Amino acid sequence: MKKFIFGAFLALTVAFAHADLKVFATVPEWGALAKEIGGDKVRVYTATNAFQDPHRIEAKPSLLAQARQANLLVAVGADLEVGWLPLVLRDSGNPAIQAGRPGYFEAASVVNRLDVPTSVDRAHGDVHPAGNPHIHLDPRNVLKVGEALAKRMAELDAPNAATYQAGFTAFAGKWQAAMGRWEKTAAPLKGVPVVVHHQSFVYLTRWLGMSEVAALEPKPGIEPTSSQLNALLARQQTTPPRMILRTAYQPEGPSQWLAGKSGIPAVLLPYTVGGTPEAGDLVGLFDDTLNRLLKGLR
């Protein structure tokens, strides 16, 4: 009898262990979204953090080990991870998460992308042929990705499909209420001109109606030299921007130099979940982003 009870308990334990949907997210924002949707039905591993440039990640053995176990890989796509994710996929030996399989999901594939180039020339810097990949900084895109991701999770883990749908429904209600609040709060930012370090914020500034008048990088992915910064400073004298924006993973030197010379405030934005202490989740990411922008405006 004891052996039977132990065997039944062991079988149940194994069944529950395998019931978890194991998610490998390439970036914090989509890892956080998967957790919002799946709750305790998912185990989420996030390959990068807010202080790492997602373009430039090393395909370490720890990433391979996690990818090998995953049922679902959630990537940004639009070539953001092109320098490292193909290596992780190849060397993981996991057929379930390869491109084109149900276990492979690209967030950028379900939204309208901005800055899609008409031609691609590497002489122009780190240009993304599929458009700007930093899609998560428009909260409307987060909602679109969430809907598609919940559907994919339900397809991969049919016994918990209702849980994923309910998780997304709850998240969507909370998110839509927050969007209404953010859009009212952000009204003073409309039309405000800004300089950006990299084209990381185009979806954010488009959503808020802000104007990106210049970038510190002379070409995408190319750090500016002192002479290029001096030339940029000269160009900003006639119609100075109100802020200089950078992410948590970008070097502070160029923006601080321009701020010191021009008197324009340099503003660090979290960019993704975990980029600042206040940006502990997706709602916190946007709350803190708007708080920092409004403070910079003042």
**CB-CB neighbours of 292 under 10 Å:** 19
pLDDT of 128:
62
pLDDT in tens, 103-112: 999 999 999 9
Burial 152-180 (b: 16+ CB within 10 A, else e): bbbebbeebeebbbebbeebbeebeeebe
Are 20 and 146 contained in the same domain? yes
Are 65 and 140 contained in the same domain? yes
How far apart are alpha carbons 208 and 292 in whole angstroms? 14
Domain residues for the domain of 174 are: 2-110+124-181
How far apart are alpha carbons 36 and 34 in whole angstroms? 5
* pLDDT greater than 60 at residue 209: yes
pLDDT of 280:
98
pTM for the whole structure: 0.88
Are 175 and 190 contained in the same domain? no
Percent of all residues in the chain with a pLDDT value above 90, rounded to a whole number: 74
Are 18 and 160 contained in the same domain? yes
The count of domains in the chain is 2
pLDDT of 207:
98
pLDDT band at 44 (very low <50, low <70, confident <90, very high): very high
115 located within any domain? no
Are 263 and 133 contained in the same domain? no
pLDDT of 234:
78
pLDDT band at 120 (very low <50, low <70, confident <90, very high): low
- Supply the CATH number for residue 74's domain: 3.40.50.1980
Give the residue-averaged pLDDT of 122-148: 84
Are 172 and 196 contained in the same domain? no
Are 222 and 143 contained in the same domain? no
41 located within any domain? yes
* pLDDT greater than 80 at residue 219: no
Are 267 and 144 contained in the same domain? no
Are 148 and 217 contained in the same domain? no
117 located within any domain? no
Are 152 and 255 contained in the same domain? no
pLDDT of 126:
59
Give the list of residues 6+ apart from residue 156 with CB closer than 8 angstroms, or none: 21, 71, 72, 102, 103
Which of 166, 181, 196 delimits the end of a domain?
181
Are 177 and 191 contained in the same domain? no
Are 39 and 135 contained in the same domain? yes
pLDDT in tens, 89-100: 999 999 999 999
pLDDT of 233:
78
Which of 164, 181, 198 delimits the end of a domain?
181
pLDDT of 223:
80
Burial 236-272 (b: 16+ CB within 10 A, else e): beeeebbbbbbbbbbeeebbebbbeebebbbbbbbbb
Give the residue-averaged pLDDT of 50-63: 93
**Residue 103 to residues 10, 25, 119: CA-CA distances in angstroms?**
28, 12, 31
Give the residue-averaged pLDDT of 219-243: 79
221 located within any domain? yes
